[in-house]
Amino acid sequence: MTISDSELVLRVTSSNDQVAFQQLVERHQAAIRGFLRRLAAGDCGTADDLAQETFLMAYRKLHTFKSSGSLLSWLHTIAYRQFLQHTRKHARQQVMAEPPDQGHDPRQSMDSEILAQRLLGFVSPEERACLTLAYSAGMSHPEIGKVTGFPLGTVKSHIQRGKQKLQRWLKDHDHSISKHKEAHGA
Amino acid sequence: MPESPLDRELGQLLAYHDEPDSSEFVANVMHDVKRERLLRRVILWGFGLVGALFGLAGAAMLSDSITRLFTFSISLPAIETAQVALVVVAAAAFYSWFMNDEMSLGS
């Protein structure tokens, strides 16, 4: 029997149940690390450090979590804020904003995950966050608005602009998923 | 949400393709959590100890007055007695509320 997130949260907040918190981390770590890896454009070390900070912050603030909402959305919100804080601190290093070479075709010798990470390098960090939440995490536009703090209209325009950029790239490179899979024998 | 062919293609392209290894990551997070709990415990007990020391010092300085109070050798007006009782109860309530988290941490 799977214990719900709300039940696990209750156990952590009421009796500091570490096993319950560990279960929450195990359950959601893949989504949060995946999200941050996309935001960090494939910088896995930075993404995992931020994910670790995200879960530690969640542990500190778990008593403020409202059980009416989704824990995963709440964790994404913390992760996004951690990412923004990190980019502000390391603005000069341009960890995530490094634009890829326009003439470079990221399909060459890459698996699907790296291709996705590189592709997202063609869009702005805000567009990247919105596209990842929409297409990778499967969130609705209002949910994305809650996570990122953007108004609904801004979320929609970020997604639209990001889609146009990716569509342009796909068109320019005559790319399709089936071709990519064929090329890699997937 | 994805509807158009482009949406479907992006949905496939941007899906999380890798499941990162969880064991080391989870162990690191839980290590940080344990360190955090230890730090909180040290801070709570440290400040609790400082408070207790100041309380003892204060009690020692006022020991004569306190003795006289509890042996009823001085008589306080009813309103002042009520105020003293209220302060003691409030202090006890605050202490148990403040230390409640630490008590549950220790269990």
Cα A171 to Cα A167, A186, B87: the distances in Å are: 6, 22, 76
Q: What pLDDT is recorded for position A116?
A: 82
Q: Does the residue B52 lie in any domain? A: yes
Q: Does the residue B35 lie in any domain? A: yes
Nearest to B30 among A15, A22, A33 (CB): A22
pLDDT(A79) > 80: yes
Q: How many domains does chain B have?
A: 1
Q: Cβ separation of B30 and A59 shorter than 8 Å?
A: no
Cα A157 to Cα A117, B11, B28, B36: the distances in Å are: 21, 18, 38, 41
Of the candidates A136, A166, A79, A147, the one whose C-alpha atom is nearest the C-alpha of residue B19 is A136
Q: Does the residue B83 lie in any domain? A: yes
Report the percent of chain A where pLDDT is more than 90.
Answer: 47
Q: Which residues contact A20 (CB under 8 A, 6 or more apart)?
A: A3, A8, A9, A11, A12
Q: What pLDDT is recorded for position A89?
A: 84
**What is d(CA B60, CA B50) in angstroms, rounded to the nearest whole number?**
15
**What is d(CA B89, CA B107) in angstroms, rounded to the nearest whole number?**
25
Cα A28 to Cα A5, A94, A145, B11: the distances in Å are: 10, 27, 20, 20
- Reported as a single tens digit per residue, the pLDDT across A35-66 is 999 898 878 899 999 999 999 999 999 988 88
**What is d(CA A62, CA A21) in angstroms, rounded to the nearest whole number?**
10
pLDDT category, A154, cuts 50, 70, 90?
Answer: very high
Q: Cβ separation of B14 and A116 shorter than 8 Å?
A: yes
Domain that includes residue B72, residue range:
22-106
* Rounded CA Rg of chain A: 18
Q: What pLDDT is recorded for position A126?
A: 92
Of the candidates A118, A36, A119, A23, the one whose C-alpha atom is nearest the C-alpha of residue A77 is A36
Looking at this predicted complex, what is its ipTM?
Answer: 0.74
pTM of the model: 0.71
Q: What pLDDT is recorded for position B74?
A: 61
pLDDT(B6) > 90: no
Nearest to A26 among B2, B26, B28 (CB): B26
Q: Does the residue B13 lie in any domain? A: no
Of the candidates A170, A43, A45, A35, the one whose C-alpha atom is nearest the C-alpha of residue A98 is A43
**Is B78 near chain A, with CB under 8 Å?**
no
Q: Does the residue B96 lie in any domain? A: yes
| Disruptive mutation site among A23, A33, A114 for chain B (greatest number of B CBs within 10 Å) | A33
- Reported as a single tens digit per residue, the pLDDT across A92-101 is 555 444 445 4
Q: Which domains does chain A have, with CATH numbers?
A: 1-98 (1.10.1740.10), 102-186 (1.10.10.10)
**Is B12 near chain A, with CB under 8 Å?**
yes
Q: Does the residue B69 lie in any domain? A: yes
Mean pLDDT, residues B81-90: 84
